Amino acid sequence: MKKSLTPFLLKFALTTTLLTIIFRTVLSYGLTQNNILLTILASILYSICMFISGWYFGKKDSNHLPIFDIGFRFHFTTYFVFNLISLLWFVFDFNSVSEKIENIYTTILIWGTLLFFHFLFFLRAKKKTIQGINKEDLFD
């Protein structure tokens, strides 16, 4: 497990934290102002920035540590950071009046279910490979 926590995953987690705080700030402001365009734009830009950061740090990470994790560590990090910040957003009362904590719970439940299936797929893929090489192709 010690090899799973790489410098690139930590940088991704920091980037995710920063992007999520900015997203939550703009989202809550847009909802408070009833500005639908701002909330949609914030969501789209957040998605694009998260994809780019995942792609960038994921590429760097796979070159640094050639393990076959099919993106699970990055998926789990995103899940953890986003939902932690979203929950803390409500704890510290930064949310808009129109935001409901139930939406965060629903997100955690649905996304957590998808993450669980990703974990199962990860375990299955991990059994069949050694550092990204299919076991059947090792001794050609």
Q: What confidence score (pLDDT) does residue 105 get?
A: 98
CB-based contact 12:77 (threshold 8 Å) = yes
Q: Which 8-state DSSP code applies to residue 133?
A: E
Dist CA 28 CA 90 (whole Å): 11
Q: At 117, give phi and psi (nearest 5°).
A: -65, -35
Q: Which residues pair with 133 in a beta bridge?
A: 130
With respect to residue 61, please indicate whether it lies within any of the assigned structural domains: yes
Is the per-residue pLDDT at 139 higher than 70?
no
Model pLDDT for residues 43-57, shown as the tens digit of each residue: 999 999 999 999 999
Q: How many domains does the chain have?
A: 1
Dist CA 130 CA 51 (whole Å): 27
With respect to residue 76, please indicate whether it lies within any of the assigned structural domains: yes
Q: Strands, DSSP E only, in the chain?
A: 129-130, 133-134
Model pLDDT for residues 127-136, shown as the tens digit of each residue: 776 655 555 5
With respect to residue 138, please indicate whether it lies within any of the assigned structural domains: no
Q: What confidence score (pLDDT) does residue 1 get?
A: 47
Q: Is the pTM of this model over 0.75?
A: yes
Dist CA 29 CA 39 (whole Å): 8
Q: What confidence score (pLDDT) does residue 126 get?
A: 76
- The boundaries of the domain holding residue 18 are 7-130
Q: Which residues, other chains included, contact 68 with Cβ-Cβ below 8 Å and sequence gap of 6+?
A: 125, 126, 129, 131, 132
Q: Which residues, other chains included, contact 115 with Cβ-Cβ below 8 Å and sequence gap of 6+?
A: 75, 76, 79
Q: Which two tokens stand for residue 53?
A: 């950061």
With respect to residue 140, please indicate whether it lies within any of the assigned structural domains: no
Query: What percentage of the chain reaches a pLDDT higher than 70?
Result: 86
pLDDT band at residue 67, thresholds of 50, 70 and 90? low
Span between the terminal Cα atoms of the chain, in Å: 30
Angle at the Cα of 129 from the Cα atoms of 119 and 78, rounded to 5 degrees? 30
